[in-house]
Structure 1
């Protein structure tokens, strides 16, 4: 009778696509890329116009979602349905994409995501946004405030990437979020994880709870952390992300390959 040998040489994984927020880049997912959730590979693009990447056309959440569909077509296997993870503005992009093509993804993880009805920046704040383009000290202070408990190890890289954002994006992204919204009914039936930071002043815990209620799930608020909690405490973030991913269908996951030997 053949003997069964178990090996992990061939590991088929589900795909988690991590989308960064405003003034950010793929470097915000450095910890997640280095230590991905078990059973999942992580892809993290730079959205157009961020961290020196090319940008053409309008600055809008809709345009970013259109770009994302083209990007995914070049980075996924045919028929593969990834989980989208969106932080801040990246959450709006993930929501926009999911509302358009719910059958093309297997779940949504929203981390301090922009609210479903957009995020209004007061008019008096726009001059400050424009100052961030020229004043690296202000930019560093602005980004540092997102991590009230501790700065990520690659904080210098995050500031550098922010300084390379397209000039159109400083006010443009704020305008884009103020005019964007998504109908939660378009996301009905889609597995969703909603997380927020207790000390987040941009996407407040109240906003996070309202978003979760509209999506028919419960919010989890991470104690003592701010807007950048996925990077501020990557381990705590993963401890909430992994169980969510574990309960999702993952038809590419085959941790063990069975070989017959004589």
Structure 2
């Protein structure tokens, strides 16, 4: 499989002008089909894209890897805005928030940027909710900036180290061949592969009607976004390893949700040990639910947010 891929890349390299033009067209089409949904603010000259809706206690939503804030605007923002001031951010390098630097933004850099962005919006000490990779960013926010949030909600969150190596796809899209591979993937990724990837995230639950059309997967297939996403994923395990020893010092309400059918971020590897390490953590296991618990268990997520708000004295 890998030899075949390298052969394909060599062929593409000989016609890279065509590939670059096709990739550029794909990027332009993605921007036209999925324009920014929200507004922009600037933190020390760095633009941050966000959507804001509702009133009440501030609630910040942080999306996972290969995603953008459209994961939240599919239905969560509308659903939660009746009782919270909901703010969903595009993480650096994803959606319409530019990357921080060329090396891939660490979870700590992302947390600092989003914390400053929330503060600029007047969302002081919000409830911070992170899904999957976004859960690691939320934990970085809590461990590095504990006075800047009131409570933490972790949904299918990456929070511990794991045994497996970085998947080949991320090594390819972050490594020396990225300059060839990423435009090729952007230009020629088929609709079927995109749909299969979305279905894999939701499994064993079906993809909600309209989700694939709303999420804007094409935004994640832009060459620069492919590289940034891969660089972030490549450094995640080491960053989490440095963060885990700080969990026992967390002194705020922490609500955790995790499906026991999640094969992307395993419950027993991540949330079970994390819940033991954080003194104020409350873990709710969702029977039969996969990785997309923010959609498949929307009511349970809303209840977890309400518990966090009540425990923080915001309700």
- Normalised TM-score (structure 2): 0.68
Asked whether 1:63 is paired with 2:109, we answer yes
Higher mean alpha-carbon deviation, 50-59 vs 93-102, is at 50-59
SS of the residue 1:166 aligns to: helix
Indicate how the Cα distance of structure 1 residues 25 and 242 shifts in structure 2: closer, same or farther if over 3 A, else same.
Answer: same
Aligned partner of 2:196 in structure 1 is: 141
Specify which structure has the bigger relative contact order, considering alpha-carbon pairs within 8 angstroms and separated by 6 or more residues.
1
Q: Distance in 2 between matches of 1:85 and 1:100?
A: 16
Aligned partner of 1:151 in structure 2 is: 207
Of residues 30, 46, 60 in structure 2, which corresponds to 1:17?
60
Of residues 215, 222, 227 in structure 1, which corresponds to 2:278?
215
Of residues 138, 141, 147 in structure 2, which corresponds to 1:97?
141
SS of the residue 1:174 aligns to: helix
Indicate how the Cα distance of structure 1 residues 49 and 33 shifts in structure 2: closer, same or farther if over 3 A, else same.
Answer: same
SS of the residue 1:205 aligns to: coil
Indicate how the Cα distance of structure 1 residues 179 and 139 shifts in structure 2: closer, same or farther if over 3 A, else same.
Answer: farther
Q: Distance in 2 between matches of 1:241 and 1:114?
A: 19
Of residues 259, 262, 269 in structure 2, which corresponds to 1:197?
259
Q: Distance in 1 between matches of 2:248 and 2:121?
A: 25
Residues 69-148 of structure 1 correspond to what in structure 2 (within 5 A)? Answer: 69-77=115-123, 80-115=124-159, 117-118=160-161, 122-126=165-169, 130=173, 133-134=185-186, 135-136=189-190, 137-148=192-203
Q: Distance in 2 between matches of 1:195 and 1:242?
A: 13
Q: Distance in 2 between matches of 1:199 and 1:192?
A: 22
Higher mean alpha-carbon deviation, 184-193 vs 40-49, is at 184-193
Contact 2:220 2:226 (8 Å CA) reproduced: no
CA RMSD of aligned residues (A): 2.5
Which ranges of structure 1 fall in alignment gaps of 5 or more residues?
A: 1-10, 254-262
Aligned partner of 1:176 in structure 2 is: 235
Aligned partner of 2:220 in structure 1 is: 162
Contact 1:209 1:218 (8 Å CA) reproduced: no
Q: Distance in 2 between matches of 1:119 and 1:21?
A: 18
Higher mean alpha-carbon deviation, 207-216 vs 124-133, is at 124-133
Indicate how the Cα distance of structure 1 residues 162 and 53 shifts in structure 2: closer, same or farther if over 3 A, else same.
Answer: same
SS of the residue 2:168 aligns to: helix
Aligned partner of 1:35 in structure 2 is: 79
Aligned partner of 1:248 in structure 2 is: 312
Which ranges of structure 2 fall in alignment gaps of 5 or more residues?
A: 1-53, 174-180
Query: What is the aligned length?
Result: 238
Aligned partner of 2:19 in structure 1 is: none
Q: Distance in 2 between matches of 1:62 and 1:90?
A: 11
Contact 1:83 1:108 (8 Å CA) reproduced: yes
Indicate how the Cα distance of structure 1 residues 239 and 186 shifts in structure 2: closer, same or farther if over 3 A, else same.
Answer: closer
1:83-122 alpha-carbon deviations (Å, 9 max, x no partner): 100111111111111111111110000001112x445652
